[in-house]
Amino acid sequence: MEKRICFAWLLLCFCFSVQVSFAQDSVALIPKPKLYQLQQGYFYCPAQLEVYASEEFIQTADLLHEYPNFHFETVHKLKSLKKLPEKGLLLLKAESGDRLAPHAYRLEVDSAWIRITAHDTVALLNGMTTLRQLALLQDDSTILPALLIEDEPRFAYRGLMLDVSRHFYPIDFLKKYIDLMSIYKLNTFHWHLTDGAGWRLEIKRYPELTQKAAWRTYTNWNDWWNKGRRYATFGDPNASGGYYTQEEAKELVAYAAKRGITIVPEIEMPGHSEEVLAVYPQLSCTGEAYKHAAFCIGNPETFVFLKNVLDEVLNIFPSPYIHIGGDEVDKKDWKACPKCQQLIKDQHLENEEGLQSYAVKQIASYLKEKGRKLIGWDEILQGGLAPEATVMSWRGEQGGITAANDGHDVIMTPGAYLYFDGYQSNPTEKSEIIGGFLPIKKVYQYEPVPTEIAADKKGHVLGLQANVWTEYMPTTERVEYMAFPRALALSEVGWTEAELRSWPDFKKRLQKHYALMQKLKVNYYRPSFEVSILGHYDLQKLVDTISIVSEQHQPEIRYTIDGSEPNWHDTRYVEPFTLMSTTTVKAAIFEDTVRVGGVTTFTVDIHKAIGKKVIYNSPWSEKYPAKSDSTLVNGNYGGFSYGDGEWQGFEGDFDVTLDFERREELHEVKLRFMQIAGPGVYMPGSVKLLASDDGKHFRELQQVKNDIPTSDTSLRFKTFKFDLKGRQARYIRIIGENNQKGFLFTDELVVY
């Protein structure tokens, strides 16, 4: 009898543990809720669901028709909250005494009913979004686990931008893009509608903007950019491009608003306007087409045109924000323009920087009169900025830090963390792309409120946004590939408090969302089967700690340290290990004894230059100091990004001297440089090695010339090696010539 009771108890425990495990796995929500509790039981969606709503939420309830397996004909109005229906789906307005926070929602799933409670429609939509994602995450979306969730966003602004100027995408795709944003609680769609590559919005007062400036001679942006940059006319056989009618734009605005998403339009000014000035050349400084990218600020007609355009834009977009770009203005035309120079004198401006500030302030004031607020990239800070303007910081964090500390509202979108046009995996092996390396983990690790912002100014950080610049995204499939799943990491950074976020936990939950994206036919980036081997040298302990990581979840990694190719019999990687001498590590992923993906090789260089004194004959760039004067001899290599803190940047020649403190026998010297032409990072034309015994008189030993052409736009690395055959010297000097006058980046000076 006792055995039967024991067996029954064990069976009950087993069944309960399986149920809890299943429920936990099925509540892999992204972004992570502030509070959720799993409960026993499930809600089974009936063939016909009864839906009830407080009066304020009846129209919002219509969105439930789009949810999987939620079938209903009408929404019943709730007259009172005192006696609620015992079955069905209920959308409830929180009572005044409810402890629920003002911007929070409460989602309750019981075996008989589902209830979402909120104080307002925005919070209710967030709760409905959670319910939709919960259903999509289930293998069978008719069965939902019982739970309680209370949740609210960290930031009010959680944005995702899409550039439709470089490549035009149809409205149906934009709706899909907005749907995906909604599922992950991204609430602002920044629509980059105009730029030199094409004008994309119908402006009825200026029909040539869509008859000509919306069309170009090549479909592919890169071809157009390199082959004349000319515009076409609608109807020309080779015209490529397109535009959105005002009715289409209004339809998209309504579609987004129904899902709780605001569309912020961007109309570029005063620069990035080649397409406008090609068809309305009278608004440029010389009146010539195809000669200018910036409006003539000294011409009063410029502001008549811009305000007329904005009037139509404001009629389409109810957004409180209007984005004007305001960045990368080529001011050489203004310097030579009599009208611009006269305006500088008349307005007592210092220079052309002041002229740009004048233009931005004119537009900011006009938008303020219309009850709107200007947003611009952080160059709008130049020359002073009206307090009512909001800064979108994109060149790095510094612009956002400066703006916030000066009392301006800021939306953080630094390129190093939130530009979704860069590589997601090993960039040396992928297709053409603009540059940069931004794996999903780096997106997830971003903190939008830098410590450099004063405590009383942190509230000026309204939120964050990722930008999808589309020079190298000619298809909608490519856009999806570049945006997802990085947008999921963005959503959690914007929504969830920092102390609740955990990369291992996020990565575990992410596994369930691959199935969700497959259901929705999203062409997302698949996690790589390659591994990365990372070394961290400890200058005190004189050991290198090796970590092997993968984008796969809990992969079986095998590795060797004898230079041989790994197979499934070799040591399985479990945790970081240490090495005390120069070693070649090789690793790969295996599944069922079969290797998947390639073999990654990493050389641990424990060499005689580590910890030695480096004398900088030319300074490093203040923008890229890395680890300052220890960078080149700390035993650590950089990764795929020059912004990772191990690559040291130089804007002039690379010129350093290494002091061994005594004469040393030297056999080999090597150092590595990076090239990525897009942002202006190049190889040195040549690298010279010199030696000295007194640090004053140097003799040249060898010179190695670069053989990688500057026309190569891919990410390239080159190690410059010098064979010294046992020569002796106390000092060595290395000089790399900066022929392209861009940036030089190097990470470690290795000496044997």
Q: Catalytic one among 236, 247, 301, 328?
A: 328
C-alpha dist (Å) from residue 373 to 325, 448, 466:
13, 22, 20
Residue 653 is among the residues annotated as catalytic for this protein: no
Q: Do the beta carbons of residue 656 and residue 614 sit within 8 Å?
A: yes
Q: Catalytic one among 190, 272, 292, 323?
A: 272
* Amino acid (one-letter) located at 164: V
Three-state secondary structure call for residue 44: strand
Q: Do the beta carbons of residue 670 and residue 722 sit within 8 Å?
A: yes
C-alpha dist (Å) from residue 209 to 196, 202, 269:
12, 7, 15
What single DSSP character describes residue 290? T
Q: How far apart are CA 356 and CA 349, in angstroms?
A: 10
13 φ/ψ angles, rounded to the nearest 5 degrees? -60, -40
Question: In this structure, how many other beta carbons lie within 10 angstroms of the beta carbon of residue 693?
Answer: 13
C-alpha dist (Å) from residue 134 to 18, 210, 480, 483, 558:
19, 42, 22, 22, 36
Q: How far apart are CA 589 and CA 550, in angstroms?
A: 9
Tell me the Ramachandran region of residue 20: left when phi exceeds 0, alpha when psi lies from -120 to 50, beta otherwise: alpha
Residue with tokens 């034309």: 685
The DSSP line for 680-707 is TB---SEEEEEEESSSSS-EEEEEEE--
Q: How far apart are CA 211 and CA 635, in angstroms?
A: 59
What single DSSP character describes residue 479? H
Which distant-in-sequence residues (6+ apart) come within 8 Å of 38 by Cβ?
Answer: 20, 23, 24, 27, 145, 146, 147
Q: Catalytic one among 150, 163, 195, 327?
A: 195
C-alpha dist (Å) from residue 312 to 92, 209, 315, 606:
38, 13, 5, 65
Q: How far apart are CA 693 and CA 665, in angstroms?
A: 12
Sheet of 531-538: strands edge to edge? 531-538, 543-550, 577-579
Q: How far apart are CA 260 and CA 63, in angstroms?
A: 11
Three-state SS string over 387-446 comes to CCCEEEECCCHHHHHHHHHCCCCEEECCHHHHECCCECCCHHHCCCCCCCECCHHHHHCC
308 φ/ψ angles, rounded to the nearest 5 degrees? -65, -45
Helix (H) or strand (E) holding 257: helix 246-258
Residue 79 CB burial class (10 angstroms; 0-12, 13-18, ≥19): exposed
C-alpha dist (Å) from residue 414 to 82, 205, 419, 496, 679:
49, 36, 7, 19, 15
Residue 667 is among the residues annotated as catalytic for this protein: no
Residue with tokens 């090796």: 546
For the chain, the residue count is 752
Query: Going by DSSP bridges, is the β-strand pair 699-705/686-692 parallel, antiparallel, or unpaired?
Result: antiparallel
Which distant-in-sequence residues (6+ apart) come within 8 Å of 443 by Cβ?
Answer: 417, 418, 466, 486, 489, 490, 493
Q: Do the beta carbons of residue 67 and residue 135 sit within 8 Å?
A: yes
Residue 328 is among the residues annotated as catalytic for this protein: yes
Catalytically active residues, by annotation = 195, 272, 328
